[in-house]
Structure 1
Amino acid sequence: MIFRVSSTALLLFSTSLAALAAENGPITSITLSSGGLAEVVRKADIDSSGLINMTVPLDQVNDVLKSIVVFDEAGVVEGITLPGPSPLAETFKNLPFSKEDLQSPAQLLSKLQGTGVRLDRAGSDVEGLVLGVSVRDRGDQGQVAVVSVLSQGRIVGVELEPDTEITFLDADIQNQVAKALSAVGNGKADGARNVALKVAGEGAREVAVSYVVPTPIWKTAYRVVTMADDTARLQAWAVLENASGEDWENVTVTLSSGAPVTLKQRLHDLYWRERREVPVDVSAGYVPRADSGAQASLDGFGIEEVRNRATGLARLAAPVAEAAPAPMAYNVASANVGEASEGAVTASFTLPWPVDLERGQTLSAPIVDRVVSAETVSVFQPESGLEHPIAAILIKNETDTSLPKGILTVYDEREGYVGDAQINGMPSGESRLASFATDKKVRVKQTAFPDNRISEVKVADGVLTATIRQRASVAYVIQGAPDADRTVVVEHPKRPGWEFSSPQHLDDTATHHRLKIEVAEGATETVTALSERTLNETYRLVSTGAEELLSLSTRTPEPEVAEKLKELAGLQSEIARVERRIRQLQAGKDEEMADQQRHRANLAALQPGADLYKRAALKLSESETRIEAIDTDISDLKTRQAEIRQTLGDAIRAF
């Protein structure tokens, strides 16, 4: 079956394909951010109509719309145009047929009722207006679609066979069908958008265009070689990928560290303001409700402190291989590093050579090569539960720029590889501990000595206020290595609100106090850490128990106060004994009263004068006697309780 459209529509279709095929200018520089974005700068040609044409992957359109800028001293940017997010849907929105209707001539003609067509088949043709399409059953030959056409006052049915030619006589319908087919063809490769920047100015010329798009974050891998004079050779290498979808040729690459705020927004999507729908009033108007009668009166009826401390130093401990010293020193070759600069919030490293990197490839290049101060120490971390400290390097950033966080490989200039570590971001002039191995030749034992002594006691209006000096003393006994001196750093956990002191205090991190001591070969040294604080505790003496009063008496520094507290403890203890005895007697009385109920029930069921009646009456009398004795004892105890409470009150007032 032949489907004909006008030659003008085909020309428009080929022109749109040519526009989408426009090539972008070459990339000249890329700045990779640690925030996962890349600033791309590329050359661009402005044609005679003042347009810069670029093909942008669909997943980058939102970021390009957000960030694109043009560097041009001779022109003025007027705007950007590009196909919408759903050009295919927009194309069919106002057409009398859908994308699915283009699958079949019969289906398309059924939607174009009243359209003028010419149908040519087997040397005969029919011109007229489409009435509709039906299906004719041809028995064993299956079914065939039949289009009904109103031609010169007659209704003619034409079977739509493969050799039937259909020509639309209406130029508008021809253009609509051609436009729809073009949109469908473009939609099959709907992975990019042709972006056209309108720039007014001095005609055709070359400019630069910059925009920001997502990219894999670049990583940092450090190499450090420790040397004998408390220095180390520090090299930083950047690892990056070309995930731009196009090859880099002679591109200037800059790496930017820091913590940028990165946002995205779907600027290319369509958003419609929601409007409140006002319903059409179809009600019958007000209708008075039916009376249900008077209602009866209803008067009288009714109707979590979390504590979260972050660990400041990351650790990656691995055992040190006890290998023989290498026969030669590790003389690391110098690295070709480019320019480094420090900005207000970022540090930038520009590679010193233009980069050629095919799409999908990875590049690792040095960005720092310096000899810096680096002291090898053994770091003991009590919360680890280990008896051995961790070998670490205290590295100082003596470069002019901040160094990003990354993984670090540690070499010794004589022994070679000794371990790995991870290191956090390090501003210029600051130091970081990089822990890389367990120092099994050194042992540390810690012992705590808590002390909660009362320094002062005051009593007013029956309330005792104790000023308590809490002390937490810890001794770290360090057994040094048998074959070499060690510098040991103890990271003692901070206690918020406590004052800290130690003769070996070095400095503080956000979560720890650092203590430093030199331990000679085979020697044993002790590091002490003292944390202190003062707090007040209050006790209502009339309600404080005997055990707590005795505890206070042992902790108070004043003997006279201790004796008074012991006296109060004795009185409280006696009151407790009396109360306990009263409860026991009351429980016995309750049992006797339960027995009385049973005896009275027996008397009611027996014949007066009978032996069983007399026996039950006797038991009831004996129970009454016991209850009277219990009541007497309880009364005496309550009297005693009142006397003791009076004595306690007098003692408290005289405290």
Structure 2
Amino acid sequence: MLFRTLFVVMNLITFTGTTEAAELVLKRAVLGTGGMGYFEYSAEVTGKEKLTLRARLDQVDDILKSMLILDPAGAGSATLPGKTGAEETFASLPFTSTDLVSMPALISALKGAEIKLAGPRKLEGRILSIQMEMPTAKVAEISMRTRVAVFSGSTIEQFILEEAEGLEFKDARMAQQVETALKALHTAQDRSSRDITIQLAEGGKRTVRVGYVTEAPVWKAAYRLTLPKPGEDSAKLQGWVVLENMTGNPWKDVAVTLSSASPVTFRQALYDPYYVSRPEIAPPVSRVALPRVDPGQNAMGQNVSQLRETAPQLELNKAIASSTTDAPSLQSARQYDEKASSTEARKGDFSQPQKSGNDSEENAAGASFILSQTVSAGSGESLTIPFVDIQLPSQAVTWYQGISRNPWSAMTIKNNGPTSLPAGSATIYEMTEAGPLFSGEAQFPLLPKDDFRLIGFGSDQKVIVDSQHDSTSAITSFKAIRGALHIESRLRQTTTYIIKNGASELRHLVIEQPRETDWQLVEPKADSATIAGPVYRLRLDINAGISKQFKVVMERQVIDAIEIGSLSSERIRALMAAPELDAETKARLAPVMDAARISDEAQAEVTRLEDQREGITTDQERIRENLNSAPQGSNLARLYSQKMVDQEKALDKLNLTLNKARDKLDAAAKTLTERVSSL
């Protein structure tokens, strides 16, 4: 007999034709520079429908954290298969995944289940046993066959499983378990994505939007700048965006908004199951004291195990995902017309570009640019499209930063547009009669609305800048304050720039002069300079074919405080030798120098006498040691005793002289203090 296909017919499960479910279509994308994007799908629905959102597995956490269901009929809900896969499903089923490999394995695992046979003969009962057997000669074409024994009422009947035309589980719960297992295996085979089922509320015909925030490649800005021609004061700026479709699904006529905001973002594993670790508590046990061992019998040694109580406390961060029906907060944007037809591709060259027609707006988080054209791109594809096309006030300049003798060719631009311009790269062109001429590349900085920026793009080989440095110091004043002589000096640093313009046209030069703490710009005047972080920016014009010197003077006031106790005649003499002091000032310092000299001499005398006394004291220690070691009453002992008497007399005389010297030093110090205070 030929082997016939076996169908498992599950009670309560029927396959009937249904109307085609509404499809979610990507309509809007808000791409940010912070590595996140907002993606919004829409569908036309009627009634209480279910929508399916296909998502990459690595995006499910973000979708669970941020998904919005914008349904005029009311709040909806979403379900999806668990991340643990089939293992968790089979843990609650009466069979394993390996039992679904073949029908004999499944029937063997479900012993006792009630089944109904459809043919070739009708049979009902509970599965009793299953046995593999060799076929007879009549069915030699079948290598092995399965004999199933069924208990029906009070009889046991058998059938060959391979000959059965149909088999039905009479227990609806068993049929549902088999279906659940098959679905779990199917889901486990898909390791890259998940289907999220969205259950909508009851309602009429309407448009439902489903949006979420997830990781997305940052969009990149690439600008094209034309240099202003001689006599002109504006430059053409055209910005192109480079973006990628990494959603896993193709885009077709998607309305794209570019956001320059940098919101706070983080990852949170909401799709992973988390369990709270609980302390283990031992069941209550009656603790009865053991009776004393009878010393007349053999002791039965029993170890009483101690109950150990463990209380592991592991903190688990709670995942809080708030939902709202308001518009997403990633970036505000104007409403778009879903029925609008896509705009035709614009024609034209860079020298006379068509207006982009893109809308832009400034908000608290940054700027947003709504592309006038819808975007179509296959999954994994990249594309570039203009997002800004404006004229900006500009001037060609030469920018010296002190890095090399040749300054940068640069241009100043002012953003007089409606929004800030995001950072990106810039390709610089010079418009000639033959067409655009490449001039260089630059990093385009973030340019806020109504602000200026300098953009350098190449070396100006026709201009050479050299510099010379000179430093001077001059005493400006001195005075006594709280027992100290305060000497005020002015430090001056002069940088002389020697500039040669070898070009045939005027150069607008911008020089960057480093700023240092406590140093002030005195030449040129500070109000003629601008500050750019750690530098001053100074501007001057250099006519064609000439050389010019430009001086920059920085000054700093320094106060040197000298305590009167450490004020020496040599220090005063050096101070009086300063060429910037006039004769009158030197005359005022002369009495101070005399007083300092007398004080120095008195201090030297006190130091000399103290050293002499120290020498006698040290010698006395040596004599005492010798006296202790000499025999008592000997001539040597009498000699050391006489020396000690002589040393004591010398010390008494020296102490009198030292006291007089100290008095003289105190008088000299007082005189010095008075003369310093009179300055």
1:410 aligns with 2:428: yes
8 A contact 1:471–1:530 mirrored in 2: no
**d(CA) in 1 for partners of 2:557 and 2:40?**
63
Letter in 2 for 1:369: D
State the partner residue of 1:210: 211
8 A contact 1:52–1:198 mirrored in 2: yes
Deviation string 1:159-207 (CA, Å, 9 cap, x unpaired) is xxxxxxxx99987677657645643442232443332333324346554
8 A contact 1:22–1:54 mirrored in 2: no
State the partner residue of 1:391: 409
Query: Given the alignment, which residue of 372, 396, 408 partners 1:376?
Result: 396
Deviation string 1:94-148 (CA, Å, 9 cap, x unpaired) is 5688879999999999999999963321469xxxxxxxxxxxxxxxxxxxxxxxx
Cα drift, residue 215 of structure 1: 0.8
8 A contact 2:31–2:219 mirrored in 1: yes
Cα drift, residue 9 of structure 1: 8.7
**d(CA) in 2 for partners of 1:603 and 1:184?**
109
State the partner residue of 1:308: none
Cα drift, residue 613 of structure 1: 7.2
**d(CA) in 1 for partners of 2:359 and 2:568?**
71
1:447 aligns with 2:469: yes
**d(CA) in 1 for partners of 2:242 and 2:380?**
13
**d(CA) in 1 for partners of 2:217 and 2:37?**
9
**d(CA) in 1 for partners of 2:209 and 2:532?**
47
8 A contact 1:243–1:360 mirrored in 2: yes
1:644 aligns with 2:648: no
Instruction: Specify the SS of the correspondent of 1:60.
Output: helix
8 A contact 1:505–1:514 mirrored in 2: no
Cα drift, residue 460 of structure 1: 6.0
1:194 aligns with 2:195: yes
1:525 aligns with 2:544: no
Deviation string 1:34-61 (CA, Å, 9 cap, x unpaired) is 2222222333253653222212222222
8 A contact 2:23–2:51 mirrored in 1: no
State the partner residue of 2:537: 514
**d(CA) in 1 for partners of 2:609 and 2:87?**
92
Cα drift, residue 541 of structure 1: 3.7
Identity within the alignment, %: 27
Q: Size of the alignment, in residue pairs?
A: 562
User: CA 1:254–1:605 in structure 2 vs 1: closer, same or farther (change >3 Å)?
Assistant: closer
Query: Given the alignment, which residue of 332, 335, 347 partners 2:367?
Result: 347
Instruction: Specify the SS of the correspondent of 1:442.
Output: strand
User: CA 1:7–1:620 in structure 2 vs 1: closer, same or farther (change >3 Å)?
Assistant: farther
User: CA 1:102–1:72 in structure 2 vs 1: closer, same or farther (change >3 Å)?
Assistant: closer
Deviates more, 1:214-223 or 1:636-645: 636-645
8 A contact 2:47–2:203 mirrored in 1: no
Deviation string 1:391-417 (CA, Å, 9 cap, x unpaired) is 211122344432211112223335933
8 A contact 1:23–1:54 mirrored in 2: no
Letter in 2 for 1:392: A
Cα drift, residue 560 of structure 1: 6.2
State the partner residue of 1:229: 231
State the partner residue of 1:28: 27
Cα drift, residue 535 of structure 1: 8.0
Cα drift, residue 241 of structure 1: 1.2
State the partner residue of 2:245: 242
Letter in 1 for 2:59: Q
**d(CA) in 2 for partners of 1:632 and 1:568?**
29
Deviation string 1:315-334 (CA, Å, 9 cap, x unpaired) is xxxxxxxxxxxxxxx98463
Instruction: Specify the SS of the correspondent of 2:61.
Output: helix
Letter in 2 for 1:255: L
Deviation string 1:387-444 (CA, Å, 9 cap, x unpaired) is 4432211122344432211112223335933332212111333221011223343213
8 A contact 2:237–2:392 mirrored in 1: yes
State the partner residue of 1:251: 254
Instruction: Specify the SS of the correspondent of 1:224.
Output: strand
**What pairs with 1:47-62 in structure 2 (closer than 5 Å)?**
48-62=47-61
RMSD of Structure 2 on Structure 1 (CA): 5.1
**d(CA) in 1 for partners of 2:287 and 2:566?**
76
Instruction: Specify the SS of the correspondent of 2:200.
Output: strand
State the partner residue of 1:356: 376
Letter in 2 for 1:368: V
State the partner residue of 1:43: 42
8 A contact 2:500–2:545 mirrored in 1: yes
**What pairs with 1:598-609 in structure 2 (closer than 5 Å)?**
598-606=622-630
Cα drift, residue 273 of structure 1: 6.5
Query: Given the alignment, which residue of 514, 521, 545 partners 1:493?
Result: 514
If the length of structure 1 is used for normalisation, what is the TM-score?
A: 0.69
Instruction: Specify the SS of the correspondent of 1:348.
Output: strand
Letter in 2 for 1:362: S
1:76 aligns with 2:74: yes
Deviates more, 1:388-397 or 1:505-514: 505-514
1:337 aligns with 2:361: no
8 A contact 1:97–1:111 mirrored in 2: yes
**d(CA) in 2 for partners of 1:198 and 1:432?**
52
User: CA 1:210–1:610 in structure 2 vs 1: closer, same or farther (change >3 Å)?
Assistant: closer
Question: Unaligned stretches of 5+ in structure 2?
Answer: 1-5, 114-125, 135-150, 152-167, 289-348
**What pairs with 1:441-590 in structure 2 (closer than 5 Å)?**
441-449=463-471, 451=473, 453-454=475-476, 459=480, 462=483, 468=488, 470=490, 472=492, 474-484=494-504, 485-495=506-516, 500-501=521-522, 502-503=524-525, 505-531=528-554, 541-542=564-565, 563-565=587-589, 567-568=591-592, 570-572=594-596, 574-576=598-600, 578-579=602-603, 582-583=606-607, 585-587=609-611, 589-590=613-614
State the partner residue of 2:335: none
8 A contact 1:397–1:427 mirrored in 2: yes
Instruction: Specify the SS of the correspondent of 1:76.
Output: coil
Instruction: Specify the SS of the correspondent of 2:64.
Output: helix
**d(CA) in 2 for partners of 1:416 and 1:380?**
24
Deviation string 1:595-616 (CA, Å, 9 cap, x unpaired) is 4444444455456898977887
Letter in 2 for 1:225: T
Question: Unaligned stretches of 5+ in structure 1?
Answer: 125-150, 152-166, 286-329
Instruction: Specify the SS of the correspondent of 1:525.
Output: strand
State the partner residue of 1:118: 128
User: CA 1:88–1:558 in structure 2 vs 1: closer, same or farther (change >3 Å)?
Assistant: farther
